[in-house]
């Protein structure tokens, strides 16, 4: 086979290099890539309804919580994020007692699951943030007003808060990976934020669902990495890169 010469050969090499670049997702991580003053940690629906063993929706994610050590990883993630001066934001769900705000003629499963299990009702322990990461009196975390939508950017002030505080990069964790976490990551990308999907601090219904979301969806809107690697990218609390 005769290889093309001159400009044609260089063009062919360029196309080959571009193809490799498009399909290569293993760029190296470096310490202190992220300024903590420009970084936020978004925790999606990390409430007792999913996270606690007594939660009405815990059965959906309990196996993956155990397999990935989600609670252990997230507890340390939040602790160090606060210590480094990263903005910690809780996206939460809560509905009226009779779910009057929902359109139950909608064929989608999302709200049907919530109402079937009578989840996220006001005044119940299910709407509380999971104990190990619950903000204390001296923490500067932000708990957004409850929403009925999948994405943390819908029905909340999340985009306004992040913009007003100069946030450029967001780490995203919580429940459920391929539903509300993914919806939040997609919107974060569309709003121009740099997205880091903390794949050991989130859970889906099964390993199959988790792997599919990571490999086919989340990687298109951000970088998939562990909570430990994310923390290693964040500079000191002073904010210097």
What pLDDT is stored for residue 4 in this prediction?
52
Rounded Cα distance, 43 and 76, in Å: 13
What pLDDT is stored for residue 236 in this prediction?
85
Q: In sequence order, what are the residues at sequence separation of 6 or more whose Cβ sits closer than 8 angstroms to the Cβ of residue 180?
A: 44, 45, 91, 150, 151, 152, 174
What pLDDT is stored for residue 90 in this prediction?
99
The domain segmentation of the chain, as residue ranges, is 33-232
What pLDDT is stored for residue 98 in this prediction?
97
Closest to 42 in 3D by CA, of 172, 212, 205, 221 = 172
200-to-58, 72, 101, 133 alpha-carbon distances in Å: 17, 10, 33, 16
What pLDDT is stored for residue 237 in this prediction?
74
- CATH code reported for the domain at 33-232: 3.40.50.850
What pLDDT is stored for residue 25 in this prediction?
46
Place of tokens 């923490």: 139
Mean pLDDT, consecutive 10-residue segments, the chain of 241 residues? 53 46 48 88 98 98 98 98 98 98 96 97 98 97 98 98 98 98 98 98 98 97 98 80 41
In the chain, the N- to C-terminal Cα span, in Å, equals 51
The total of other beta-carbon atoms located within 10 Å of residue 219's CB is 14
Provide, for the chain, the percentages of residues in helix, strand and coil under a 3-state DSSP scheme, each rounded to the nearest 5.
45, 15, 40
Q: At what angle do helices 207-216 and 58-68 cross, to 10 degrees?
A: 70
What pLDDT is stored for residue 7 in this prediction?
53
């Amino acid at each position: 086979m005769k290889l093309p010469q001159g400009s044609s050969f260089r063009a062919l090499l360029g196309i080959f290099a571009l193809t490799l670049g498009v399909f290569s997702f293993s760029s190296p991580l470096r310490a202190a890539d992220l300024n903590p003053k420009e970084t936020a940690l978004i925790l999606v629906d990390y409430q007792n309804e999913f996270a606690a063993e007594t939660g009405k929706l815990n059965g959906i994610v309990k196996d993956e919580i155990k397999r990935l050590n989600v609670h252990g990883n997230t507890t340390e993630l939040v602790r160090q994020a606060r210590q480094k001066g990263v903005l910690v934001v809780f996206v939460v769900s809560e509905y009226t007692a009779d779910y009057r705000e929902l359109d139950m003629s909608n064929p989608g499963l999302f709200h049907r699951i919530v109402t079937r299990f009578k989840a996220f009702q006001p005044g119940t322990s299910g709407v509380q943030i999971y104990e190990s990461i619950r903000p204390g009196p001296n923490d500067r975390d932000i708990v957004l007003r409850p929403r009925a939508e999948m994405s943390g950017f819908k029905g909340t002030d999340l985009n306004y808060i992040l913009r007003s505080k100069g946030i450029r990069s967001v780490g995203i964790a919580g429940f459920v990976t391929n539903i509300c976490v993914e919806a939040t990551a997609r919107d974060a990308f569309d709003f121009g934020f740099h997205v880091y999907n903390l794949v050991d601090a989130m859970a889906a219904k099964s390993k199959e669902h988790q792997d599919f979301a990571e490999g086919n969806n989340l990687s298109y809107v951000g970088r998939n990495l562990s909570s430990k690697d994310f923390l290693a990218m964040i500079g000191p609390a002073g904010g210097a890169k």
